[in-house]
Amino acid sequence: MCPEAVITMDVRHSDVGADGRARLTAVGGWLQEAAGHSADALGFGEDVLRERGLTWVLVRQQLRIRRLPAAGERLRVRTWPSSCVRLGWRGYEIFDAAGRLLLEGVSGWAVMELRSRSLCSLPHDLLRAYPADVHPVESIAARAPARVPAVERESLLRVRHDDVDINCHVNNACYLSWLAECLPQEERSTLSLLDISYRAETFPGEELISVCGAAEPDGQGFRRALAIRRPDGVDACRAAMRWECGSI
């Protein structure tokens, strides 16, 4: 069975923001949907894991963005599983109707025991279902994004019930927009790289803070360290963003 999955979709008006381009939450949803189709077809999807009291949780994600699509565009989203060593790694590509690559990404998934909310190993019989001859994914830095060294900007957040998914915690796609909440609009609209490390679950009613450090040139644009932080200082996720613009 072919390990890759390809889904076609149209960008809806509800998927785009004020700049007319797709929101990061929409992008996260497309990637998650494609990953689900692939895992289901290969025999280690969400339904199979939940029968055993398990679920997949996203631990690491890196997105390289060339262009965010506009409303009405038809997209082809491609995903495939790569190695399953410590984490289950997966690659992504999004193309427009002309076949131009808009976005490429890598994600790392862990298995969580639903009752204890602790991470565990993928059962051996499901691990055997992982493709032996896999297509490699774009390399991702071994070191996860660091803690924001000094907060320059911040924005308060509150988790809503609508932010929660079937695993009873905030869906990973929500963090994509939350991380950008404290950024100026020009940085959000020219985003070219997003690297996220998911570190802890969050739940409805929690008060969170979107924080970022100072913008620094890195040779390819400007870069900031970001985090979604609890009031006690614990980071639910950490990230690094790069954007391209002439000035800040």
Helix extents (H) in the chain: 24-42, 46-50, 124-127, 172-180, 185-189
- pTM for this structure? 0.90
Residue 231 burial (CB count, 10 A): 10
pLDDT at 118 over 50: yes
Name the band, by pLDDT with cuts 50, 70 and 90, for residue 3.
Answer: confident
CA proximity to 236, closest of 168, 147, 153: 147
Q: What is the mean pLDDT of residues 40-69?
A: 94
Residue 71 has pLDDT above 50, yes or no: yes
Quick one: tokens of 194? 């997003």
Phi and psi for 126 in degrees, rounded to 5?
Answer: -75, -35
* Share of the chain residues as helix, strand and coil, in percent rounded to the nearest 5: 20, 40, 40
How many Cβ atoms from other residues are within 10 Å of residue 78's Cβ? 17
Label residue 96 by pLDDT band (50, 70, 90). very high
34 and 103 Cβ atoms separated by less than 8 Å? no
In this model, does residue 87 exceed pLDDT 90? no
**Using CA atoms, how far apart are residues 125 and 218, in angstroms rounded to an integer?**
45
Question: Which stretches of 61-123 are DSSP H helices?
Answer: none
Instruction: Convert the pLDDT of each residue in 52-66 to its tens digit.
Output: 999 999 999 999 999
Contact 233, 217 (CB under 8 A): no
Provide the mean pLDDT of the chain. 90
130: phi then psi, degrees, rounded to nearest 5? -65, 135
Residue 237 CA: distances (Å) to CA of 36, 37, 147, 156, 211:
22, 26, 9, 15, 11
pLDDT by residue (tens digit) across 159-174? Answer: 999 999 999 999 999 9
Over residues 29-39, the mean pLDDT reads 93
SS3 category, 97 = coil
Indicate the SS3 state at residue 48.
Answer: helix
| pLDDT value at residue 188 | 66
Nearest-angstrom CA–CA distance, 102 and 165: 27
Q: Given this model, what pLDDT does residue 56 score?
A: 95
CB-based contacts of 13, cutoff 8 Å, min separation 6: 71, 72
Q: Say whether pLDDT at 204 is over 90.
A: yes
Cα–Cα distance for residue pair 238/158, rounded to 1 Å:
18
Q: Which residues pair with 238 in a beta bridge?
A: 197, 227
* pLDDT confidence bin for 157, thresholds 50/70/90: very high
Give the whole-angstrom CA distance, residue 155 versus residue 181: 7
pLDDT at position 138 over 80: no
The pLDDT value given to residue 226: 96
Q: Average of pLDDT values for 95-113?
A: 96
The pLDDT confidence band at residue 247, using thresholds 50, 70 and 90, is: very low
